Amino acid sequence: YGVYEVEGRLAGWLRRVRVARAFDGGVYAITAEEYSRGRGNLRVMREALEGGARIVQYREKEKSYRAMYEEARAIRELCREYGALFVVNDHVELALMVEADGVHVGQDDWPVEEVRRVVGPGMVVGLSTHGPAQAQEAVERGVVDYIGVGPVFPTSTKKDVCAPVGLEYVAYASREVRIPWVAIGGIKEHNLDAVCELGARCVAMVTEIVGAEDVRGKVRRVRERVEGWRERG
């Protein structure tokens, strides 16, 4: 192989190891300032990291590029301190600009092959999926590092999201999906066990985390529960 090909393969291998580690018993926190009780994204994500979040996604649709750049950079620095993965939602250019660990896209965003081509072998690419057919396609295309599985329960956080796909899709993912995946959509502390019981080992939450009075305590409890399920096998 040429030296660049070796470098690319190594970068890809390191990337997959990092994702596998973060997602195995991980809590995936996502920003949403409108549900954060007047607290800023940076403060809320700092508390989530203190509580043990392993993946942080910067999800922002309203702010200017400059404001997103400043905020995302600050959160990226925090994630490095805590050894957590930092992922930017939708905005590939912002992810590159702030040297995020990864970028997360939805079904209606850029094709994942194009995202991979632009970000290169070193960056994590995640994709939202809303049913077995999309999961299968994502795995077969072989481009993404992980998929989102949801919405498991009803949620009003994502405006354009489809109807809940339910726990059946979680069960399907446990059986069939051979890349890291994260359950998302309406997951709360009180329904967490139902999701983990079916095999989820990484859970993403928006309102349950950012809307918690005690973000740190919330994430810590959720992480302990998810890790407990992982240890049980």
Residues at the annotated binding site for Mg(2+)? 90, 109
User: Which of 161, 183, 195, 222 lies at the binding interface for ligand 3NM (CB under 6 A)?
Assistant: 161
Point out which span in 111-119, 157-165, 173-181, 215-223 binds ligand 3NM (CB under 6 A). 157-165
- Least separation in angstroms between residue 4's CB and ligand 3NM is 35
Task: Tell me whether residue 158 is one of the annotated catalytic residues.
Answer: yes
127 belongs to the binding site for ligand 3NM (CB under 6 A): no
Q: Are 96 and 120 in contact (CB under 8 A)?
A: no
User: Which of 184, 192, 198, 222 lies at the binding interface for ligand 3NM (CB under 6 A)?
Assistant: 184
Closer to ligand 3NM by Cβ: residue 41 or 128: 128
- Least separation in angstroms between residue 209's CB and ligand 3NM is 8
- Least separation in angstroms between residue 222's CB and ligand 3NM is 11
**Quick one: angle between helices 132-141 and 112-119, nearest 10?**
40
Catalytic residues: 59, 128, 158
Interaction site with ligand 3NM (CB under 6 A): 128, 130, 148, 150-151, 155, 157-158, 161, 184-187, 205-208
